[in-house]
Amino acid sequence: MSTVIGVLRKRFLAPPLASVGFAERGFPVTHTDATARLEAVPQAVVCGFEWAIEGASLWEIERRLALIEPEQRGFAYEGATMGYTILDAMPGGGRDRTRALLEGPGRPHIFLTYIGIGFAMARLPRPLWKNILPELSGVAYHPVMSWLAVDGFGFDRAYFDTKKWVDEQAEPQPYPWAGRPEYFGRAFDQGVGRALWFINGGDPDAVAEAVVRFAEHRRADLWSGVGLAATFAGGSDQRGLGRLRRAAGEHYDELALGVVFAVKARTYSSYVPAHTHLAAGVLTDLSVQGAQDLADRTEQADGDDGPQPPYELWRQRIRAEFDPAARRLAG
């Protein structure tokens, strides 16, 4: 049950639904049924955030989020994780809400709940990041996929401060996430790539033009983010996805990598919408089952404790399936 303090937190911290919409953000998006579905994604995040930041119990959060349609439910869990993470980080927070959420009802959405932690990072000073990732017990993909928190941070900055991070292509200050400060910027750009899909309303030509405006060394990670967003969130039809595949050009393997990760996240949550089936087929020539099998068989290998984060090594092995040169390197 909400308290007076919770209601005040919601009032001052939760953005109005309209403020996350494409028109309010000034994005060059023509309203269609497809873009309306995309626009519902940040709105679902806000709903989850509002419920959590009010201080709703885990029992109540789980039941409220169960009322969200399955296609958007993972996004609402992003928002709830963001809210709980901020509460835990506040002075005197210390109630370990985030860990309970991720080990409990948020477990099927672990890929997205990490992103929710990244959204919280965008609103917290860096000194508070040190202990922001909870220690989880018995949760698959932890901590390997925790780089999605940095991805979420990049998405948030690109979506809400587009001028700086997209128009001016600013680069983030490195941070030793998982002890790897050198990889921080790459994971950040993967989130920026996801944001480009939303900022441009899923228009493949506009997205490709946006990617090309960035420095060459950043484009590969941007394309993987685009592939993930196009597959997980939808927003384009078969013809548009075909144009997106062609536009990726030399970075096709990165686009396909994003598709495979999106399929893995969807299948792990036990709900795969029609647009994910469509994107998997058009962008990778794989069925959803084929993409999931690819993710599973490349998940672990000897040498994953080397200089590269295991997360990136997994990504590398997936890329190798779509790029013969990369396959030789992954050897």
CA–CA separation, 8 vs 91, rounded Å? 16
* Residue whose pair of structure tokens reads 């000073």 in the numeric block: 125
Whole-number pLDDT of residue 327: 42
pLDDT, averaged across the chain:
92
Whole-number pLDDT of residue 300: 85
Q: How confident is the model at residue 5 (pLDDT cuts 50, 70, 90)?
A: low
Q: What is the pLDDT of residues 136-149, one digit of tens each?
A: 999 999 999 999 99
Q: Is the pLDDT of residue 193 over 80?
A: yes
Q: Is the pLDDT of residue 2 over 80?
A: no
113: left (phi over 0), alpha (psi -120 to 50) or beta: alpha
Whole-number pLDDT of residue 160: 96
Instruction: Supply 144's token pair.
Output: 């390997």
Mean pLDDT of 177-191: 97
* Residues in Cβ contact with 144 at an 8 Å cutoff, skipping those fewer than 6 apart: 309, 310, 311, 314
Q: How confident is the model at residue 94 (pLDDT cuts 50, 70, 90)?
A: low
Q: Is the pLDDT of residue 295 over 70?
A: yes
Q: How confident is the model at residue 19 (pLDDT cuts 50, 70, 90)?
A: confident
Q: Is the pLDDT of residue 108 over 90?
A: yes
Q: Is the pLDDT of residue 203 over 90?
A: yes
Mean pLDDT of 271-276: 98
Whole-number pLDDT of residue 6: 53
Helix (H) or strand (E) holding 246: helix 238-248
Mean pLDDT of 2-15: 53
136: left (phi over 0), alpha (psi -120 to 50) or beta: beta
* Residue whose pair of structure tokens reads 């598709």 in the numeric block: 259
Q: What is the pLDDT of residues 244-258, one digit of tens each?
A: 999 999 999 999 999
* Residue whose pair of structure tokens reads 């002075």 in the numeric block: 91
Q: What is the pLDDT of residues 216-244, one digit of tens each?
A: 999 999 999 999 999 999 999 999 999 99
Whole-number pLDDT of residue 3: 57
Q: What is the pLDDT of residues 43-68, one digit of tens each?
A: 999 999 999 998 889 999 999 999 99
User: Which amino acid makes up residue 153?
Assistant: F
Q: Is the pLDDT of residue 4 over 80?
A: no
Q: How confident is the model at residue 119 (pLDDT cuts 50, 70, 90)?
A: very high
Whole-number pLDDT of residue 134: 94
Whole-number pLDDT of residue 313: 95
CA–CA separation, 61 vs 68, rounded Å? 11
Mean pLDDT of 150-168: 98
In percent, the amount of the chain with pLDDT more than 90 equals 86
In percent, the amount of the chain with pLDDT more than 70 equals 92
Mean pLDDT of 305-314: 89
Whole-number pLDDT of residue 305: 72
